[in-house]
Amino acid sequence: MKKKEKKKKNETQDIMPEKEISKDSDKTEGESDDLVKMVMFSLDQEIYGITIDQVVEIDRTMEITVVPDVPDFILGLIDLRGEIVPVVDPEKKFLLKRETPIDKRHIIICRARNGLFGMVVDEVFRILSFPRKEIDEAPALIKNKIHEDYLKGVGVLNDRVFVILDTEKILKPEELEKIKSTQ
């Protein structure tokens, strides 16, 4: 089992090698307006980012309580220090097909318009400062894969395109209210 985990870690390092990530290591005062900080994570060996202002915290996966009568992309609810938080499976929400089976290892707690929700991901890499001017509109190919309402844009890191998600739009207000009413 340890060999398997070690292999996964090496695959992660291939996706985001340590030495090429720290774009903000020599950051000077006033540069923050030109940079956006993002939490970088993976889903099925694809790289995604969420701007840090939309992230409350990152946790290892915890016990999720399944609840009835919720959309299939809702895995259930977690207790986050007394606050009940719905947990979303982004692959189901975005209708993505997983190529490589893996246990989800992290839950990113995100802000939505009406509260908080968790999003299960394979692995969280780190927080990255990325130049704003290098964030582009998502091309049609990506918009066909993930609905453009959920996207803030795309960037390129280590010759790989990564998708920047807009967590405020992942759960519609009526979806969040329906989930809250099932508690």
pLDDT in tens, 40-92: 999 888 899 999 999 999 998 889 999 888 889 999 999 999 999 999 999 99
Q: Is residue 138 part of a domain?
A: yes
- Flag the least confident range among 42-51, 64-73, 153-162, 166-175: 166-175
Rounded distance between C-alpha atoms, residue 131 and residue 24, angstroms: 9
Question: DSSP string of 118-132?
Answer: EEEESEEEEEEEEEG
Average pLDDT over the chain, rounded to an integer: 79
Higher pLDDT, 74 or 113: 74
Can you say how many angstroms the Cα of residue 151 is from the centroid of all Cα atoms in its chain?
11
pLDDT reported for residue 183: 60
Number of residues that this document lists for the chain: 183
Instruction: Look up the domain containing 171 and give its range.
Output: 35-181
Q: Decide if pLDDT at 7 tops 80.
A: no
Rounded distance between C-alpha atoms, residue 87 and residue 117, angstroms: 6
Mean pLDDT of 92-108: 84
Compute the 3-state secondary structure of the chain and give helix, strand, coil in percent, each to the nearest 5: 30, 40, 30
3-class state of residue 82 by DSSP: coil
Q: Is residue 69 part of a domain?
A: yes
How many domains does the chain divide into?
A: 1
Strand order in the sheet with 74-80: 55-60, 106-112, 115-121, 83-88, 74-80
pLDDT reported for residue 32: 64
Q: Is residue 8 part of a domain?
A: no
Contact 16, 157 (CB under 8 A): yes
pLDDT reported for residue 24: 41
Rounded distance between C-alpha atoms, residue 17 and residue 158, angstroms: 8
% of the chain exceeding 90 in pLDDT: 39
CB-CB neighbours of 110 under 10 Å: 22
Q: Is residue 5 part of a domain?
A: no
Q: Is residue 9 part of a domain?
A: no
What CATH number should be reported for the domain holding residue 146? 2.40.50.180
* pTM confidence score: 0.76
Q: Decide if pLDDT at 171 tops 70.
A: yes
CB proximity list for 147: less than 8 A, separation 6 or greater: 94
